Structure 1
Amino acid sequence: MGAAHHIPSIAILIVAGGRGARAGDGLPKQYRPIAGMTLLARTLHGLHMAMPQAALKVVIHKDDLDHYAAS
């Protein structure tokens, strides 16, 4: 038999598909840098530090693949 796969008992869904239009500048706010990290990266880092056993899943807008990859 193969090695058992660990399946996390906790999953966190981060919904980051908004356009952030009110923030201006044309860049959705989840991809804006704050003290060297994007808001999304800060969110993911904080959640991972608080619950390292959790599976983190991010939902993004279909047009934001490049922004997501860069963040």
Structure 2
Amino acid sequence: MSGNGGPVAQYVDDATITAGVKAAILRESTLKVAEINVETEQGVVQLSGYVGSADSVAAAASVARTVKGVKSVKNDLRLK
């Protein structure tokens, strides 16, 4: 098989981005990664779930933007 950079390559990149965002959120002590869902499609990260404060919503998006490969962040986090 030849590595033509098709959909499988994109999936791997998205999976790597998702893992990177989750790791970055985990390192941010104010955020609870278990309550934050991360999905990535073509470099666009979607955050969903529930957090305890507006500061946490902003922090999660800010942290996600620092991960290599992230083109943009769609922040659907909600306050609980």
TM-score by length of 1: 0.39
Higher relative contact order (CA 8 A, sep 6+): 1
Q: Which has the higher helix share?
A: 2
Instruction: Tell which structure's C-alpha radius of gyration is larger.
Output: 1
Q: Which has the higher strand share?
A: 2
